[in-house]
């Protein structure tokens, strides 16, 4: 069997189109423009790239982007004061603080100072609790993107056996909650799980969020299963030659060994071009959802958990 490739890039484009259509309606019918504020502390190059592309896509779907770039030595008090101001600002519907923060800043304290209804990353402790108890929450973007792709592929995932590899607060745990909320039978696995191969082999749905290149081989996968590969890992690619500085070029791979898994699975997300593009699309979806909730308006269909 050769798996169907779930094209996250194309799917993310349809999500952004839906967001843009909803934004246009909000402007036309209610004179409201959703706004997303992104706060970046320091000069981490990867974070700068993420923030730039978030800002660009926010504007592309018709929303307002507010970028706050603060120096690395910003004090906690100053950062909290900025968040308080954004919490009170009616033109800001979503607030995202780009992680990781410099070491002298308490990440939990900062994230929990965001108004939960504006917490478009879904990391605030209130949103974690709401999701865990099956209530209306802001849902973390990467797991939300995975769920959207799974629903699109399966229609309903109810009753399916799902195995999540990884138990992080940003991917593994919320992913498991979403699958449980959608009536899957869920197993969460981690670095101490015994007989991981046997556990994964039982799954109709495998979500791998580990951060170990090509860790899951095809012979762990049940024939016909759906494989969602969240991992983003850079590995040496000597076949691509060397860079100007003489170092070996790199390529991106997931946590699953793509070729062998695709031989067995029914469907699989590639890396790159699978889960990655869905994450920013879901950030935009969460912002428009937050804007609708703030204004007591109907939420956009198909963009929430
Ligand atoms: P974390 O490092 O926070 O968590 C990794 C998890 O994997 C941990 O729970 C760990 O277990 C588990 N793990 C480690 N080794 C093994 C093993 N040998 N067997 C089973 N489980 C293992 O990572 P994240 O959740 O933040 O990210 C995971 C991956 O997803 C990374 O590659 C990251 O780059 C990618 N990612 C991609 C995103 C996207 O947009 N596509 C967004 C976010 C992340 P334990 O808890 O026991 O240590």
Are 101 and 206 in the same domain?
Answer: no
Query: Could you tell me the distance, in angstroms and rounded to a whole number, from the CA of residue 195 to the centre of ligand 1?
Result: 18
* Centroid of ligand 1 to alpha carbon of 298 (angstroms): 35
Are the beta carbons of 174 and 131 closer than 8 angstroms?
Answer: yes
Residue 199 inside a domain? The answer is: yes
Q: Is residue 178, in this structure, part of any structural domain at all?
A: yes
Q: Looking at ligand 1, which residue's alpha carbon is closest to its atom 22?
A: 191
Domain boundary residue, one of 99, 116, 133: 116
Which residues 6+ apart lie within 8 Å of 14 measured at CB? none
Strands 250-253 and 267-268: unpaired
Domain of 65, in residue numbers: 30-116
Domain co-membership, 151 together with 200? yes
The structural domain count of the chain equals 2
Query: How buried is 161 (Cβ within 10 angstroms: 0-12 exposed, 13-18 middle, 19+ buried)?
Result: middle
Give me the phi and psi of 251, to 5 degrees please.
Answer: -140, 160
Atom of ligand 1 nearest to the CA of 255: 32
Determine the distance separating the centroid of ligand 1 and the alpha carbon of 193, expressed in angstroms.
14
User: Which CATH number does the domain housing residue 218 bear?
Assistant: 3.40.50.720
Residues 234 and 250: beta-carbon distance below 8 Å: yes
- Quickly state the pLDDT bin for 69 (edges 50, 70, 90): very high
Q: What percent of the chain has pLDDT over 90?
A: 98
CA of 178 to the centre of ligand 1 (A): 17
* Rounded mean pLDDT, 121-132: 98
Q: Are residues 240 and 163 in the same domain?
A: yes
Report phi then psi at 3, rounded to 5.
-70, 150
Averaged pLDDT, 70-80? 98
Bridge partners (DSSP) listed for residue 251: 235
CB half-sphere exposure, 180, CA atoms < 13 A: 15
CATH value at residue 60: 3.40.50.10860
The reply to whether ligand 1 has any atom less than 6 angstroms from the CB of 280 is no
Q: Are residues 81 and 182 in the same domain?
A: no
Question: What's the half-sphere exposure (Cβ side, CA atoms, 13 Å) at 136?
Answer: 7
11, 123, 176, 190, best to mutate for ligand 1 pocket (most atoms within 8 Å of CB) = 190
Q: Is residue 201 part of a domain?
A: yes
Whether 148 and 258 share a structural domain? yes
Same domain, 102 and 198: no
Whole-number pLDDT of residue 1: 61
Q: Do residue 147 and residue 274 come from a single domain?
A: yes
Q: Are residues 74 and 157 in the same domain?
A: no
In a domain, 131, yes or no: no
Looking at the fold, whether 261 and 226 belong to one and the same domain comes out as: yes
171-228 tens-digit pLDDT: 999 999 999 999 999 999 999 999 999 999 999 999 999 999 999 999 999 999 999 9
In a domain, 160, yes or no: yes
Test site for ligand 1: of 191, 203, 206, 276, most ligand atoms within 8 A of the Cβ: 191
Determine, yes or no, domain membership for 35: yes
Q: What percent of the chain has pLDDT over 70?
A: 100
Please indicate whether residue 189, judged by its CB atom, sits closer than 6 Å to ligand 1: yes
SS3 for the chain is CCCEECCHHHHHHHHHHHHHHHHHHHHHHHCCCCEEEEEEECCCHHHHHHHHHHHHHHHHCCCEEEEEEECCCCCHHHHHHHHHHHHHCCCCCEEEECCCCCCCCCHHHHHCCCCHHHECCCCCHHHHHHHHCCCCCCCCHHHHHHHHHHHHHHCCCCCCEEEEECCCCCCHHHHHHHHHHCCCEEEEECCCCCCHHHHHHCCCEEEECCCCCCCECHHHCCCCCEEEECCCEEEECHHHCECCCCCECEEEECCECHHHHHHHCCEECCCCCCHHHHHHHHHHHHHHHHHHHHCCCCCCCCCCC
Q: Is residue 299 part of a domain?
A: no
Gap between the Cα atoms of 96 and 118, Å rounded: 8
Within-domain flag for 39: yes
- On whether both 107 and 199 belong to a single domain, the answer is no
* Same-domain check for residues 154 and 110: no
Are 149 and 257 in the same domain?
yes
Tens of pLDDT, residue by residue over 256-285, are 999 999 999 999 999 999 999 999 999 999
């Amino acid at each position: 069997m050769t798996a169907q490739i779930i094209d996250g890039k194309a799917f993310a484009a349809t999500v952004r189109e839906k967001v843009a259509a909803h934004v246009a309606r909000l402007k036309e019918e209610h004179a409201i423009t959703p706004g997303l504020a992104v706060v970046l502390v320091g000069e981490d190059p990867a974070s700068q790239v993420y923030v730039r592309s978030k800002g660009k896509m926010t504007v592309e779907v018709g929303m307002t982007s507010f970028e706050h770039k603060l120096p690395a030595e910003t004090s906690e008090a100053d950062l909290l004061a900025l968040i308080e101001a954004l919490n009170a600002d009616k033109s800001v519907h979503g607030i995202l603080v780009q992680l990781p923060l410099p070491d002298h800043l308490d990440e939990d304290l900062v994230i929990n100072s965001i108004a939960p209804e504006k917490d478009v990353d879904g990391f605030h402790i209130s949103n974690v609790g709401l999701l865990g108890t099956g209530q209306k929450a802001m849902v973390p973007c990467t797991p939300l993107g995975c769920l959207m792709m799974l629903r699109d592929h399966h229609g309903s995932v109810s009753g399916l056996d799902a195995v999540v590899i990884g138990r992080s607060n940003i991917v593994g745990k919320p992913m498991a909650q979403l699958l449980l909320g959608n009536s899957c039978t869920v197993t969460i696995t981690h670095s101490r799980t015994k007989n991981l191969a046997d556990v994964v082999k039982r799954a109709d749905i495998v979500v791998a969020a580990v951060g170990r290149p090509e860790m899951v081989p095809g012979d762990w996968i049940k024939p016909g299963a759906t494989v969602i590969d969240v991992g983003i890992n850079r590995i040496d690619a000597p076949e691509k030659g060397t860079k100007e500085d003489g170092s070996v070029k790199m390529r991106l791979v997931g946590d699953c060994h793509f070729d062998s898994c695709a031989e067995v699975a029914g469907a699989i997300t590639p890396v790159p071009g699978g889960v990655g593009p869905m994450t920013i699309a879901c950030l935009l979806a969460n912002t428009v959802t937050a804007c609708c909730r703030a204004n007591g308006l109907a939420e956009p269909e198909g963009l929430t958990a």
